[in-house]
Structure 1
Amino acid sequence: MPSLISGMAYVRLSAPDLGRMQAFLEDFGMVTVARDARRLYMRGIGDSPFLHVTELGDPGAAGFAYDLADPERLAEAAKLPGAGPVEPLDAPGGGERVRLRGPDGLGIELVAGRERVAPLPPRPLVRGPEGESRTTGPARIRRIAHTAYMSRNLPEVIDWYQRTLGVIPSDELFVGETGNTLGQFNRVDLGEEPVDHHVIFLLRGRKDGMHHVSYEVEGVDDIFFGFDHMAGAGRDHVRGIGRHALGSQIFNYWMSPFEQMHEHWISQERLTANSKFNLIRIGEGMSYDTGEKPSKRFVEQASPLVPPLP
């Protein structure tokens, strides 16, 4: 049966200073949609009303939100074990949602019916009479792509995502012998429709929390001039620029002022429901990519789970 979800809608984080978070996200490449005393909403250049929510509170991750593959399945989602009722989504774009929690307590939102917004104009690709080759300023964020989540209970979490949301495995990483799973990439199942390599990466760790949230940029150049802009603004660089071998993904990672890792990302590989699942042996520290070996900070990153605001 196809996945219950079609992809990510937004991430819900928490921070004690919405102004500092807003400045970071604008440097990262997002556009402010709305802000009040309790919440900050940010969008990209696409038609989503927002891609990122920051709530006022202790630093951490408050939840992951997914678009339903079929809005008619919202009532079905409300019957999932532990799920709440269908309720209005009080946020830009409106819509409805069902809330539930993953095995570790991470908040999950299943959303439908959000009003789309007009995309922002694309970056000009033809040089004008006064133009030049250089592009400066922040990267242009197109959409939210995926999250990575660390758990002390990896088999249980993998099973929950596959049973509850209907995601399917793309690649599994193991150390030493098969069964010593370090992490598993899971994608949505939309049949013959091509999808990203993964909508979530679930990895084993000594704590529970969000490893990172990933945003697709408009073009590969955004990775590079986005790097220049973030570095010039004094932002906290964690890893990159590099290429993940799995998914053919060019990446660069940045840490928010409140220790929440954000990725600039673009990928060439797409999969369907029939794409092969691979078991892949790797070395310790997720060292399976082009570029420098991942640092201890990158490997052990996990933003703690915090409750969302009521």
Structure 2
Amino acid sequence: MRGEHPGRAAQPIIKVTDLAWLEFAKPDLDRAETFAHDFGFTTAARSDDALHLRGALPGTHCLVIRRGPLSRFLGPAFQAADAADLDRLARATGHRVRPLTEYGGGLSVDLLDPSGLPVRVVHGVTEQPAQPLQRPLTVNAGPAAARVNATQRPPRKAAQVERLGHLVLSTRVFRRALDWYLEHLGLIVSDFLYLDGQRDRGPTMAFIRCDRGNDPADHHTLAMHLGPDTGYVHSAYQVADLDALAAGGEYLRERGYRRSWGIGRHIQGSQIFDYWRDPDRFMLEHFTDGDLFDNTLEPGWAAMSASGLAQWGPPATRDFLGTRPSPGLLRQALAALREDNEIDRARLLGLMKALNS
């Protein structure tokens, strides 16, 4: 509608091309590596203090897990198009370009977003060659018979992670954080969600993609929503097809891991999804068949609701939505109401209604 958020900055400082990797701290690297292999990553490098994990497609590693006393999310790294972009970003923000001295090397500019989350923008990191890929199954669909005199027997094994797809964050300062990512990193919005009856107050969630011009990008590389907590919600990793995702889910279940929600197909982004908890309770998603947009599409707008998260599949769980009653959830809500942020009573009630609708 006239006057609503345009979903992009008129003159962003730079335009990142993708997520490079995510960083976590965990006290037990052996346990983290075991889950990573069961989920479908391979180890790119390991030391006493850090574990670098990769997908099968060529590119940088996609996860860094550092040894630390507590399990926590340390922040994302985005890929700059060239070294000149790092210089431009450093000058505009008053930071400096510094060398990365650990596995992969390269250069980095380290920033803080309005939520206080460390954000790294990198270039020149060593890229790994492709590994042999898990082949999608040949499917007989409609009148076309592509498979004759042959059966389907997908192996029950770890679904091979091909690449890092996207990161989802929660923030109490949604509008400020959204504008920061659009202005500093040149990201553009694919879809906005708003609270029912509160569209005039603006969106409370955004699915945000990289602006690669005519070159299509994932429907969202970053998604953010307004909430009483701040930080990591989940991250998503591409696999070959539905059979790889489903058989990989059975493999995870048999090894004692807990599904958070799935299997289903999303509305915004269209991905087939399956969500799991790792041993440190971080949520990770296997996905396949996601939408790709170039930079010509304008943002879509829809009301936020739990039932509006999927075209088909089981109802979204309380674990996935983060609405399981707990003292911690109540403390977060009360703290958010006391602070100077974008959470007020009407917004909080609207979020509760959306997540239970």
Q: How does 1:128-277 map to 2 (within 5 A)?
A: 133-177=153-197, 178=199, 179=201, 181-277=203-299
> Which structure's residues are more often strand, by fraction?
1
Offset at 1:245? 1.0
Alpha-carbon distance between aligned partners in 1 of 2:135 and 2:192, rounded to the nearest angstrom: 40
Q: Which residue of 2 aligns with 1:60?
A: 72
Q: Which moved more, 1:250-259 or 1:67-76?
A: 67-76
**Which residue number corresponds to residue 29 of structure 1?**
40
* Matched residue type, 2:56: I
Find the counterpart in structure 2 of residue 308 from structure 1.
none
* Kept after mapping to 2: 8 A contact 1:82/1:100: no
Q: Name the CA distance, whole Å, in 1 between partners of 2:220 and 2:191.
A: 9
| Structure 1 residue 82 displacement after superposition | 5.4
Matched, 1:88 2:99: yes
DSSP 3-state at the match of 1:5: coil
Deviations, residues 278-310 of structure 1 (Å, cap 9, x unaligned): 111132x464312222222211289x9xxxxxx
Q: Distance in 2 between matches of 1:126 and 1:28?
A: 20
Aligned residue pairs: how many?
298
Determine if the alignment matches structure 1 residue 47 to structure 2 residue 58. yes
Code of the aligned partner of 2:207: F
Percent identical: 29
On the 8 A contact 2:194/2:301 being kept in 1, the answer is yes
Q: Over alpha carbons, which structure has the higher Rg?
A: 2
4+ runs deviating over 4 angstroms: 124-127
Does the 8 Å contact 2:135/2:240 carry over to 1?
no
Letter in 1 for 2:78: Y
Letter in 1 for 2:282: Q
Superposed displacement of residue 106, structure 1: 0.8
Give 1:132 shift. Answer: 7.0
Deviation at 1:180, TM superposition (A): 5.2
Q: In 1, distance between residues paired with 2:119 and 2:165?
A: 16
If each structure's helix is expressed as a fraction of its own residues, which one has the higher value?
2
Q: Of the candidates 106, 112, 128, which is equivalent to residue 101 of structure 1?
A: 112
C-alpha separation between the residues in 1 aligned to 2:213 and 2:168? 23
Compute the displacement of 1:90 (Å): 2.5
For residue 78 of structure 1, the aligned residue among 78, 90, 94 is 90
Alpha-carbon distance, 1:233 to partner: 0.8
Alpha-carbon spacing, 1:125–1:160, altered in 2? closer, same or farther (3 Å): closer
The answer to whether the Cα contact below 8 Å between 1:47 and 1:118 also exists between their aligned partners in 2 is: yes
Q: Tell me the CA shift for residue 43 of structure 1.
A: 0.8
